[in-house]
Structure 1
Amino acid sequence: RTRIKNERYESGVIPYAKMGYWDPDYVIKDTDVLALFRVSPQPGVDPVEASAAVAGESSTATWTVVWTDLLTACDLYRAKAYKVDAVPNTSDQYFAYISYDIDLFEEGSIANLTASIIGNVFGFKAVKALRLEDMRIPVAYLKTFQGPATGLIVERERMDKFGRPFLGATVKPKLGLSGKNYGRVVYEGLKGGLDFLKDDENINSQPFMRWKERFLYSMEAVNRSIAATGEVKGHYMNVTAATMENMYERAEFAKQLGTVIIMIDLVIGYTAIQTMAIWARQNDMILHLHRAGNSTYSRQKIHGMNFRVICKWMRMAGVDHIHAGTVVGKLEGDPLMIRGFYNTLLLPLRLDINLPPKGFFLSPNPT
Structure 2
Amino acid sequence: SLDRYKGRCYDIEPVAGEENQYIAYVAYPLDLFEEGSVTNLFTSIVGNVFGFKALRALRLEDLRIPPAYSKTFIGPPHGIQVERDKLNKYGRPLLGCTIKPKLGLSAKNYGRAVYECLRGGLDFTKDDENVNSQPFMRWRDRFLFVAEALFKSQAETGEIKGHYLNATAGTCEEMFKRAVFARELGVPII
Q: Measured at CA, do residues 109 and 231 of structure 1 come closer, stay the same or move farther in structure 2, by a change above 3 Å?
A: same
- The whole-number CA distance in structure 2 between the counterparts of 1:223 and 1:145 is 35
Task: Flag structure 1 segments of 5+ consecutive residues without an equivalent.
Answer: 1-71, 263-367
- The whole-number CA distance in structure 1 between the counterparts of 2:132 and 2:116 is 19
- The whole-number CA distance in structure 2 between the counterparts of 1:156 and 1:168 is 16
Runs (4+) of structure 1 moved beyond 4 Å? 171-174, 181-185
Task: Flag structure 2 segments of 5+ consecutive residues without an equivalent.
Answer: none
Equivalent runs, 1:261-300 vs 2, <5 Å? 261-262=189-190
Q: Measured at CA, do residues 166 and 174 of structure 1 come closer, stay the same or move farther in structure 2, by a change above 3 Å?
A: farther
Residue of structure 2 equivalent to 1:168: 97
Larger radius of gyration: 1
Aligned-pair identity (%):
49
Instruction: Provide the aligned C-alpha RMSD in A.
Output: 3.2
Equivalent runs, 1:210-229 vs 2, <5 Å? 210-229=138-157
Superposed CA deviations along residues 267-295 of structure 1, whole A, max 9, x for unmatched, are xxxxxxxxxxxxxxxxxxxxxxxxxxxxx
- The whole-number CA distance in structure 1 between the counterparts of 2:48 and 2:187 is 41
Superposed CA deviations along residues 289-315 of structure 1, whole A, max 9, x for unmatched, are xxxxxxxxxxxxxxxxxxxxxxxxxxx
**Aligned-pair CA distance for 1:82:** 1.7
Bigger strand fraction: 1
The question of whether the paired residues in 2 share the 8 Å contact of 1:174 and 1:199 is answered with no
Residue of structure 2 equivalent to 1:94: 22
Aligned counterpart for 2:41 among listed residues 113, 130, 135 = 113
The question of whether the paired residues in 2 share the 8 Å contact of 1:79 and 1:101 is answered with yes
Residue of structure 2 equivalent to 1:84: 12
The question of whether the paired residues in 1 share the 8 Å contact of 2:107 and 2:141 is answered with no
Residue of structure 2 equivalent to 1:204: 133
The question of whether the paired residues in 2 share the 8 Å contact of 1:222 and 1:233 is answered with yes
- The whole-number CA distance in structure 1 between the counterparts of 2:113 and 2:10 is 55
Kindly indicate whether residue 186 of structure 2 is the aligned counterpart of residue 258 of structure 1: yes
SS in 2 for 1:148: coil
Q: What is the TM-score of this pair, normalised by structure 1?
A: 0.43
Matched length:
186
Q: Measured at CA, do residues 211 and 82 of structure 1 come closer, stay the same or move farther in structure 2, by a change above 3 Å?
A: closer
